[in-house]
Amino acid sequence: MARSKITGTGAHIPSQNIANDYFLNYIFFNNDHTKLDQSSETIIRKFTAITGIEQRRYAPVGMVASDIGTLAAEEAITNAAIDRESIDLIIVAHNYGDMKYPGAPRDMVPSLASRVKYNLGIKNTNCIPYDLIFGCPGWLQALIQADLAIRGGDAETCLVIGAETLSRVLDPSDRDSMIFSDGAGACIIQRSLTGDKGIINAAVRSDTADELGYIFSAGTNKGDELEPRCIKMNGRKVYEYALKNVPQAMKECFDKSGRNISDLKMIFLHQANEKMDEAIVARFFELYDIKELPENIMPMNISMMGNSSVATIPTLLHQVLNGEIGTLHLSEGDLILFASVGAGMNINAITYQW
């Protein structure tokens, strides 16, 4: 049976390393425009304890999402050792387009995928580029679409990219702005006719009733009505939604794979919030009556990278494959699970055999 297999990965980690003390002189406000009555030092200390974020990366002014997506793609193409002209499909997951500086217009036409194709110098007119807007789970959703194209015989080789410059849509008066960061991750995924390696199955869920407004765009907490508007979220609602629904969605995906939970080697979860991610994984295993988590089950890079939305999972995967996350590594045949949650609200998961 044909499988879609990742044959190369790449990532671009922006050069500007922003530590938490960068925000010490910021003045933070509540959603009702009232000033927080705690000092910046206290706010930052509590933020670090809850999210696990100590640093994050910002792209330099002038470098846009399609630029860093191109850099990640170049590395993935090199690692896969393919001819770029053989790529049938380029999918770029993002949410805010190309923005050259904080507050810049959101530039989304032509598509970022078309810009990446141009940047890569691909001349093949049968290589079709398009964008995908799906919140933080965008890269996984793009991977699912590439897999469908491959299984359906419409593509042999796909380039899937997640690229985001969230530093361009931040509200400096909102403490939640410290969560977000910039980055890009990419992979080459190809049809494989040998063995059972690759994507086994996937699952997607969307809740768009009350959940629609959990992550949104608005003016600043200070009361400024800026255009373009800033990324905002109802942190408590997002946390509650994720803990209630993500573990179950992960289980539904994994159960459909027909594999045994004892064989699961690693979970690549969207790097949103350290405490939330830990709780999601713990609840996932509790659904199998497992109270003690397997060793090294969940690699994390959020402490140094922050939350770069669609880029978190492909960046993390690339770092694990390159031995950059402690002693963690993947070996041939390892069973892994990808999962993400974000604006929509959307959840998706993929079971994959390395």
| pLDDT score for 41 | 94
* Mean pLDDT within 290-311: 96
Query: pLDDT averaged over the chain?
Result: 96
pLDDT in tens, 276-296: 999 999 999 999 999 999 999
Task: State both tokens at 166.
Answer: 């969230």
Where in the chain is CATH 3.40.47.10? 3-192, 198-353
Q: Could you tell me where the DSSP H helices lie in the chain?
A: 40-51, 65-80, 112-120, 138-151, 235-257, 274-286, 302-305, 312-321
Q: Across the strands, what pairs with 203?
A: 349
Dihedral sign computed on CA atoms, order 286, 134, 80, 5: positive
Superfamily, domain 3-192: Thiolase/Chalcone synthase (3.40.47.10)
**Which of the four pLDDT bands, split at 50, 70 and 90, describes residue 131?**
very high
Do the bridges between strand 198-206 and strand 157-165 make them parallel or antiparallel, or are there none, so unpaired? unpaired
Using the predicted structure, report yes or no on whether residue 227 has a pLDDT greater than 90. Answer: no
> Does the model's pTM come out above 0.75?
yes
CATH number for the domain running over 198-353:
3.40.47.10
